[in-house]
Amino acid sequence: MGNGLTVALLNGAAADADPGALRALAQVNYGHNTALQVRGVAAQGLGLHMARLRQGTAELFDAALDEAAVRGWMAQAARQAGGDCSMRVTVFARGFDHRRPLQELAVDVLVVAAAPQPPRTGALRVLARDFLRPVPHLKHVGTFPLFHHRRQAQQAGYDDALFVDGRGADARIAEGALWNIGFWDGQAVTWPQAPALRGTAERLLQAGLEAQDVAQDRRPVHMGELPAFRAAFACNANAVQPIIAIDAVEYAQAPDLMQLLADAGTHAPWEALD
């Protein structure tokens, strides 16, 4: 059980001991991260999270990630936070200079462990927005447009934003502001394919559904197809939530689908951080 404390470690040491590095992260806004729920100093899909960090470090900094050290720091932060926590691991380089972006640098790793988040269960009404995140295959720190579109959706009376690549019936559905989306036709789950960050929760659900012999389809889904589905859902590291409306298209609650997804979510084992 978590103790409610927020723990921040920079390369394994207390982050507040090196405020200059944190200022560099805030000011330069160049780096990448992964977010996960930790229970008992263990996490689901740990290999996916480490692969994400490894890929981002190689692509943004031409550097190798010391995975053993990172996992040790993650475990250290989790234990200091009481064993259960919501964790974010951010890789950046305090010496990064936008004028010389190819210079060789040592990377820094910030691990933040905060109070564990209870799963969100509320149904969502989402507004389609013509936007695709830049460099979508990386979970990078450039989150301004994500939060801006979410804010605009809430100003319009919705809960969140759904990103699509255009306007009208032919626009392809990509992802939500901080989540992936799936659809249900009563027989199979369809995962829309467009430029998007493929989340760890999405991949774990796919594996869990496959283990249950649930049919799945991965293909482009266009806005004009929305009425053909019976239900929709959002998923990320914190929750799997029903979507009951996309723009003017409304969906009924689908408790059988949500139970199916909940069962799929238990398929992946919890792996010790160290």
What's the confidence (pLDDT) of residue 24?
84
Q: Which residue has the tokens 């389809």?
A: 217
Q: Which of 144, 172, 142, 165 is nearest to 29 (CA)?
A: 142
Does 144 score more than 80 pLDDT? yes
- 259: pLDDT strictly greater than 70: yes
Residue type, 60: L
Q: Are residues 152 and 261 in the same domain?
A: yes
Q: What is the pLDDT of residues 124-143, one digit of tens each?
A: 999 999 999 999 999 999 99
- Residue 10 burial by Cβ neighbours in a 10 Å radius (0-12, 13-18, 19+): buried
pLDDT > 90: percent of the chain: 90
Cβ–Cβ under 8 Å, residues 94 and 41: no
For tokens 């409610």, name the residue.
4
Domain end position, chosen among 79, 114, 149: 114
Range of the domain at 12: 7-114
Q: Is residue 192 part of a domain?
A: yes
Please give the mean pLDDT across all residues of the chain. 95
Q: Classify the C-alpha dihedral 152-158-160-161 as positive or negative.
A: negative
Q: Are residues 76 and 106 in the same domain?
A: yes
Q: Name the percent of the chain lying above pLDDT 70.
A: 99
User: Does the pLDDT at position 162 exceed 70?
Assistant: yes
In a domain, 66, yes or no: yes
In the listed set 86, 114, 142, which residue is the last one of a domain according to the structure?
114
- Provide the number of structural domains found in the chain: 2
For position 143, what pLDDT does the model report? 95
User: Would the pLDDT of 17 be above 80?
Assistant: yes
pLDDT of residue 27: 87
